[in-house]
């Protein structure tokens, strides 16, 4: 009985294996298959199938195409941005001097059209000067005799300048009082005919100052003829 049951079980297993493997398909005995080509035969109107990408995804057929790049000739005709101008060259402080009052007036006339604050004339007081003086002599012979007398007295002398020629200077002093004291000392040495004269009145000397002179301003000033009366521009003190 047990043997018969085992034999029946073996036959049942063999039959199931043959059925599941499709060996009995020719007799209509086979399980339903999901593999191709059976699935293809089950499709309904497959030619109407369309694959659409997700909404908003790149390459969406419904999205508008990007604008075409403008042709090169159109770009060339469009105005290009102007090149930024070069930064102005910074100026440097320069000065020249000194100038007397007449020369300062000529400079003011030359620089009158320059921007305000681009130049200035600084005045410096110049003290007067006095001289112990002998002269004017009638001729060169009288001048030579006086030189001989001064050498004998061991009194030094020099020329007084063109405005007081022919004559002799026995000393220059910054104040009239100092000149008077000098003449008194010379009188004690035997000098009798000297006197005190003012060689130069108190005045002002002017210095031209350009706080931020540019190369163009320097060239303009140097091209202004005799405005600088031979004086050179130099860095400010």
Domain ranges of the chain: 92-126+203-235, 129-200
How much is the pLDDT for 61?
47
- Per-residue pLDDT of 63-89, as tens digits, reads 555 566 555 555 555 666 565 555 555
Give pLDDT, residue 229.
Answer: 85
| pLDDT tens, residue by residue, 192-218 | 899 999 998 888 999 999 999 888 888
Q: Structurally, what CATH architecture does the domain formed by 92-126+203-235 represent?
A: 2-Layer Sandwich (3.30)
DSSP string, the chain: -HHHHHHHHHHHHHHHHHHHTTTTGGGT------STTHHHHT-SSGGG----PPTT-TT-TTSPPPPPPPPHHHHHHSPPPPPPPPPPPPPEEEEEEEE-HHHHHHHHHHHTTSPTTS-EEEEEEE--EEEEEEE--SSHHHHHHHHHHHHHHT---B---GGG-SEEEEEEESSHHHHHHHHHHHHHTT--S-EEEEEE--EEEEEEEEEEE-HHHHHHHHTSTTTTTTPPPEE--
pLDDT at 2: 77
In the chain (237 residues long), the average pLDDT of successive 10-residue segments reads: 78 75 66 60 68 60 56 57 57 88 90 90 91 94 94 94 92 94 94 92 91 88 79 87
Q: How confident is the model at residue 153, as a pLDDT?
A: 94
């Amino acid at each position: 009985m047990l043997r018969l049951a085992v034999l029946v079980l073996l036959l049942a297993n063999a039959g199931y294996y043959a059925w599941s493997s499709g060996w009995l398909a020719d007799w209509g005995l086979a399980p339903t298959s999901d593999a191709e080509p059976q699935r293809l035969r089950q499709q309904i109107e497959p030619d109407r199938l369309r694959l659409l990408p997700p909404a908003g995804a790149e390459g969406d057929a419904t999205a508008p195409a990007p604008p075409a790049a403008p042709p090169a000739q159109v770009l060339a005709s469009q105005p290009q941005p102007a090149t930024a101008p070069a930064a102005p060259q910074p100026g440097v402080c320069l000065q020249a001097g000194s100038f007397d009052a007449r020369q300062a007036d000529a400079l003011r006339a030359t620089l009158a059209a320059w921007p305000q604050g681009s130049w200035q004339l600084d005045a410096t007081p110049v003290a007067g000067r006095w001289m112990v003086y002998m002269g004017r002599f009638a001729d060169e012979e009288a001048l030579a005799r006086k030189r001989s007398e001064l050498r004998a007295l061991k009194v030094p002398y020099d020329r007084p300048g063109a405005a007081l020629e022919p004559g002799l200077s026995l000393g220059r002093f910054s104040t009239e009082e100092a000149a008077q004291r000098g003449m008194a000392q010379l009188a004690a040495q035997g000098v009798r005919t000297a006197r005190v004269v003012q060689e130069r009145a108190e005045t002002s000397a002017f210095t031209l100052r350009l706080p931020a002179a540019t190369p163009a301003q320097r060239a303009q000033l140097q091209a202004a003829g005799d405005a600088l009366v031979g004086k050179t521009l130099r860095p400010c003190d």
